[in-house]
Structure formats: structure tokens, C-alpha cells
Amino acid sequence: MANFYQEVFGCLPVPPERHLSGQWLAEGTGLKSAELSGIHLRLPGFGDEGPTLEIFQYTHSEGKLETKPNREGFGHIAFEVDDVTNALRTVLSHGGSTVGKVTSRDIPGVGLLTFVYVADPEGNIIELQSWK
């Protein structure tokens, strides 16, 4: 997953890669024998002190939920891109999938929004958006 976000959106790794386990993690996550590995990725456009996206995977995971925009819980993450159609092609070429169709709409007082919902290889929804 980290490679997907680095190659598609230009996120940058913030070392070190982490391999975490122990009683403290079990207590904090509420999962008996919790064990996970992953890395933080700096989001593009924020500089060296900007926010990160945490990409972690548990050694033992539950089954995957169906990808749907109206599913309860975390909805999606959005990335502003220069060209939605080109970004969509990049997502697809890196193992992502489409959720919706590229759509444009004038939002009064804001501008022309072009967007599409896609999913990363694990089914997490990403909105690709461009404003003109």
C-alpha cells in the first residue's frame, strides 16, 4: 500500500519503517496479541513538517468490507490533482479500481469541480479532484 501512495500521489516515506508489538500495543488497540508493520508517508504539498498518512498492516487482519462510498465509518481521503482523468489512469495502472465516473459540476461561488471516486488496491476510497 505504501508503494501505491508513493507512486500514484508522490507521498514521501518518513523513516523509520515500524514493526510494533507487545502488551502496550494490545492495550492501546484493544486487540489481544496485536502486531503490525508500516510506515508514515508525508502528504504532498505540505513540506517537511506536513501531515502524514499512516500505512500500517496488522499481522492478523479481519476480512475486507465491500467498497462503498456510503459505508459507515471513515468515508474517503481526497487528493487535489492537476488532471483527474490522467490521475485515474495512474490509479488504475497501479492496481486501483474505479468506484464512480469522472464528473464535472460548477459549484456557485467556488468554481468548476471535476472529480471521481476510485479505490486503492485494498478498497479504500480516494477522491481525485480538480478545481478550475
Q: Could you tell me the domains of the chain?
A: 2-58 (no CATH), 77-131 (3.10.180.10)
Identify the pLDDT of residue 39. 94
pLDDT tens, position by position, 80-123: 999 999 999 999 999 999 999 999 999 888 999 999 999 999 99
**Of 71 and 41, more confident:** 41
Identify the pLDDT of residue 64. 80
- Residue-averaged pLDDT of the chain: 92
Q: Which amino acid is at 4?
A: F
Identify the pLDDT of residue 5. 96
Q: Helix, strand, coil shares of the chain as percentages rounded to 5? A: 20, 40, 40
Identify the pLDDT of residue 61. 84
Prediction pTM value: 0.83
Residues facing residue 14 across a β-bridge: 40
CA distances from 17 to 8, 36, 122 (A): 20, 11, 20
CA distances from 106 to 76, 103, 109, 117 (A): 22, 10, 9, 18
Identify the pLDDT of residue 87. 97
Any residues with CB less than 8 A from the CB of 85 and at least 6 apart, and which?
102
